Structures are given as structure tokens and as C-alpha cells.
Amino acid sequence: MTAMMATQAGDPAAFARFDLTRVETPAFVVDAAALRRNLAILSDIKARSGARILLALKAFSMWQTAPLTQAALDGTCASGLWEARLARKHYPGHVETFCPAYKAADLPEIAALSDTIVFNTPMQYARFRDLLTRTGEDFDVGLRINPQHSTGDIPKYDPASPGSRLGFPVSQLREEHLSGISGLHMHSLCEQGFEPLLETWERLEPQIAPYLARLDWLNLGGGHHITRADYDRDGLVRLLTAIADKYDLQVWLEPGEAVALDAGILVGQVLDTFRNGDTDIAITDISATCHMPDVIEAPYRPAMLGEATSGQVHRLGGPSCLAGDVIGDYAFAQAPEPGVRFAFLDQAHYSMVKTTTFNGVPLPSIYLWDSGTDKLERVRAFDWTEFERRLG
Ligand SMILES: Cc1ncc(COP(=O)(O)O)c(C=O)c1O
């Protein structure tokens, strides 16, 4: 069996047969077949449950893939004016915009771009209601509620943690808050399976049941790791169908990560190695702080493509001045000489959207690969003017 045949197109393991020297570094390489694999799962959920699914642009907004993602999905959700512009310009389908707080000056354009505008508090909607009416635009309005039931382990990534600013506390929700509101929005998960959703719903339902029957829709947000192999998809379909039937409304989901899960790598190279005390160090052209900030923020240790199980361990870090610009300790079967290529797995979501040019560190190029056909296309390369333009 050849290496080409050993893995299926779209399988995360398919990256093992991507020749890392085909791209300059640093570079994101996104596998179109992996996106198709995730989208097929999401399409199946839609077909079986009747739910509609939006792509959360905050997680993955490589807009050249819009024809692919939107062939399966119903639209996008945007985090404010700029993402709403990106959505309307590049992505067909429904545009829902949610921002924890809007600026009055942005709202007329947001109203023109969006099919749905979701507010974080009824008070903010009340403040802007006349302004929105005056725009004469056609959109509906939702209210984000906070279920006040926390299922996440890390408060930083838990929108339902005590004292969270995200969503109007459901315990405060009253009939009068729903004037002019077509739907409720809830987003309380992060990289979670079905069970925390079910648990949250069971706590929330009695509190919102009196209102649901006369609303048009309910949006259960993102954070659902639907495309992960162990996700209980049948359970999700049962829950979504039951909610829609019981309350006669349209259910929406807006995952980001699940769309691009395991669909991209970040390729880099070793620039120099040396030893400090007991630590072998490799400086690379991938920076944690500039290219994978969640490594420091979460924090987490990204998995390396084909990581050796034994061998010389090196501490990989970026070329910036930040002492903490460290990616992690990785074993190499052979000593990582300058020029050696490597790649970190699962970097399509929440890395590409967060890159910066701190220290003048170059931005990674963006490539689209198809592990089914082996076609490789450079979608974008950046030069130093990206850095210059942002600073004066
Ligand atoms: C309101 C909202 N919707 C959707 C998402 C997408 O979540 P995920 O990418 O974890 O599915 C987020 C993520 O922060 C969010 O804040």
C-alpha cells in the first residue's frame, strides 16, 4: 500500500503525506477534503434535525473557502461590523450579528448587512430600538441569554461562568424584555460534547418555556464539538428535533471550531538550536504569541505532526523578544538542524484569525490543499507592508 492510499482524504492523518517543503514557512495549510468531511457531518445533522447551522466567523473565516462551507451551511454569524462586512461580501446565506455591546454609529450598517441582530441585554436593545427602526432595514432581533449554568472547566473559556458579561442572566428575564424580540440566543459551551448541552438545556428549559412558544427561533450557539469522533450526534439530533417540535420554532446552531476541526496545519522551520543548562532550545519561525496565541492564552500544547515518541527533546520557541514565546517541548528522532521543517496540527481554527505582527514577525502564508487530489494552491502571502500599514 502506498502512503497516498494509507490514509483517506480528509482524514487528519492525511497531513502525514503532505510534503512540508512544498510551502514557504511559516504557512497555514488547510485541507479542503477535511473541511468537506466536517461539512458532511454537519449537513447530516441539519437534514435529520431540521436545525439550521451558521459558520461562526470568529473561529474560521478563510473566506476563499466560503463556496465550500456555504454549500453545506445556512450562513454565518458575525461578531460585529467588520465580520458582518466580511460575511455579506464573501459568504452567501443568513448573516447573524452578535456583539456584547454595539456602537450607535455602527448599527445602521450592521442593520443593512444582517438578517438577525442579537443583543446582549434588553436594555441595550431598548436604547437602540428607535435608531434601528429609522434605518428602515429588514432584520429580526434576538436576545442573548446567559443560562447561569456552568459546564466548562476553564472560566476564561466558559461564557456561563459566574459573573460572566456574556448574555442577559436568565434569572432576570421577564415578559417585558421580549417586546420586539423574535428569538433567544444562548452560547455557553466551549469544545464540549453533547452531554453539557443537554444538562444546560434541562436547567434552562423551565425558565424560558413560557416564552418559547411565541418566539420564531432559538439559537443554541457554538462550542459543540459535533465533528469530533466521540460526539453523540444522535443525541443532538433527538434534542434539536424535540425542541423544534415542542415549541414550533426554528432551532439554529453556530459552531466555528467544529467546521474546521483537524482541517489545517501550521508549517514552520527550525532557525537555530543551542543549549542553556539542561534545556535544548530550538528557535523557529513560528511564534506562539504571533501565530498561535491560544498556546499562551489557554494555555495548551499543540500536537506536532508525526511527533517522535522518543529522541532528543527540544524546547521550541518563536523569533520574538517575548520570554514566554515558547510553544512547548517536543521530541525529535533526529537532532533538529536549522532548516528542518515541522508542523503543528489542528491550526485552521482560532489561529489564523488571531495572528499578529508583533516584533515585525511575518504573518504565515495561507494555502489550500486537497488531500483527495493533492492539488495545492497558495491563497495568500503577506509582505512587510501588512506590518507597516498597521502602525502609522
Ligand atoms: C456567540 C458565539 N457563537 C459561536 C461561537 C463559536 O464557538 P465554537 O468555535 O467553539 O464552536 C462563539 C465562540 O466564542 C461565540 O462566542
CATH for 369: 2.40.37.10
Q: Is residue 149 part of a domain?
A: yes
Q: Do residue 59 and residue 134 come from a single domain?
A: yes
Q: Is residue 36 part of a domain?
A: no
Q: Do residue 289 and residue 239 come from a single domain?
A: no
- Minimum CA distance residue for ligand 1 atom 12: 222
Q: Which of 236, 260, 284 is the last residue of a domain?
A: 260
Q: Is residue 37 part of a domain?
A: no
Q: Do residue 156 and residue 199 come from a single domain?
A: yes
Q: Is residue 281 part of a domain?
A: yes
Contact 83 CB / ligand 1 (< 6 Å) = no
pLDDT of residue 4: 38
Q: For residue 254, how far is its CA from the centre of ligand 1 (angstroms)?
A: 7
Q: For residue 187, how far is its CA from the centre of ligand 1 (angstroms)?
A: 7
Q: For residue 300, how far is its CA from the centre of ligand 1 (angstroms)?
A: 19
Q: Do residue 284 and residue 378 come from a single domain?
A: yes
Contact 190 CB / ligand 1 (< 6 Å) = yes
Q: Is residue 40 part of a domain?
A: no
Q: For residue 222, how far is its CA from the centre of ligand 1 (angstroms)?
A: 4
CA angle 161, 258, 76 (to 5 degrees): 90
What is the atom index within ligand 1 of the atom nearest the CA of 255?
11
- Minimum CA distance residue for ligand 1 atom 10: 223
Q: Do residue 66 and residue 26 come from a single domain?
A: no
Q: Which of 260, 280, 311 is the last residue of a domain?
A: 260
What is the atom index within ligand 1 of the atom nearest the CA of 185?
1
**Nine cell digits for residue 57:** 466567523
Q: Is residue 41 part of a domain?
A: no
Packing angle of the helix pair 194-212, 233-247 (nearest 10 deg): 0
pLDDT of residue 2: 34
Q: For residue 189, how far is its CA from the centre of ligand 1 (angstroms)?
A: 8
Task: Write the CATH number for 209.
Answer: 3.20.20.10
Q: For residue 160, how far is its CA from the centre of ligand 1 (angstroms)?
A: 13
Q: For residue 1, how far is its CA from the centre of ligand 1 (angstroms)?
A: 41
**Nine cell digits for residue 44:** 447530516
Q: For residue 313, how far is its CA from the centre of ligand 1 (angstroms)?
A: 35
Q: Do residue 270 and residue 299 come from a single domain?
A: yes
Within its chain, how far is the Cα of 148 from the centroid? 23
Q: Is residue 39 part of a domain?
A: no
- Minimum CA distance residue for ligand 1 atom 16: 187
Q: Do residue 128 and residue 207 come from a single domain?
A: yes
Distance CA 122, CA 142 (A): 9
- Minimum CA distance residue for ligand 1 atom 4: 222
The reported pTM is: 0.96
Contact 54 CB / ligand 1 (< 6 Å) = no
**Ligand 1 mutation target, pool 254, 294, 297, most atoms within 8 A of CB:** 254
What is the atom index within ligand 1 of the atom nearest the CA of 254?
4
Q: For residue 155, how far is its CA from the centre of ligand 1 (angstroms)?
A: 15
Helix (H), strand (E), coil (C) string for the chain: CCHHHHCCCCCHHHHHHCCHHHCCCCEEEEEHHHHHHHHHHHHHHHHHHCCEEEEECCCCCCHHHHHHHHHHCCEEEECCHHHHHHHHHHCCCEEEEECCCCCHHHHHHHHHHCCEEEECCHHHHHHHHHHHHHHCCCCEEEEEEECCCCCCCCHHHCCCCCCCCCCEEHHHCCHHHHCCCCEEECCCCCCECHHHHHHHHHHHHHHHHHHHCCCCEEECCCCECCCCCCCCHHHHHHHHHHHHHHHCCEEEECCCHHHHCCCEEEEEEEEEEEEECCEEEEEECCCHHHHCCHHHHCCCCCCECCCCCCCEEEEEECCCCCCCCEEEEEEECCCCCCCCEEEECCCCCCCHHHCCCHHHCCCCEEEEECCCCCCEEEEECCCCHHHHHCCC
**Nine cell digits for residue 306:** 508525526
Chain-wide mean pLDDT for the chain?
96
What is the atom index within ligand 1 of the atom nearest the CA of 60?
9
Q: Which of 232, 260, 288 is the last residue of a domain?
A: 260
Q: Is residue 45 part of a domain?
A: no
Q: Do residue 115 and residue 197 come from a single domain?
A: yes
List the domain range (segments joined by +) for residue 9.
3-31+264-347+355-389
Q: For residue 224, how far is its CA from the centre of ligand 1 (angstroms)?
A: 9
- Number of structural domains in the chain: 2
Contact 256 CB / ligand 1 (< 6 Å) = yes
User: Is 286 within 8 Å of 355 (Cβ atoms)?
Assistant: no
Q: Do residue 210 and residue 108 come from a single domain?
A: yes
Q: Do residue 185 and residue 56 come from a single domain?
A: yes
What is the atom index within ligand 1 of the atom nearest the CA of 224?
11
Q: Do residue 166 and residue 226 come from a single domain?
A: yes
Q: For residue 54, how far is its CA from the centre of ligand 1 (angstroms)?
A: 10
Contact 160 CB / ligand 1 (< 6 Å) = no
Q: Do residue 342 and residue 242 come from a single domain?
A: no
User: Is 54 within 8 Å of 76 (Cβ atoms)?
Assistant: yes
Output the tens digit of pLDDT for each of the chain's 392 residues.
333 334 566 777 899 999 999 999 999 999 999 999 999 999 999 999 999 999 999 999 999 999 999 999 999 999 999 999 999 999 999 999 999 999 999 999 999 999 999 999 999 999 999 999 999 999 999 999 999 999 998 889 999 999 999 999 999 999 999 999 999 999 999 999 999 999 999 999 999 999 998 999 999 999 999 999 999 999 999 999 999 999 999 999 999 999 999 999 999 999 999 999 999 999 999 999 999 999 999 999 999 999 999 999 999 999 999 999 999 999 999 999 999 999 999 999 999 999 999 999 999 999 999 999 999 999 999 999 999 999 99
**Nine cell digits for residue 281:** 532550545
Contact 221 CB / ligand 1 (< 6 Å) = yes
Distance CA 360, CA 288 (A): 14
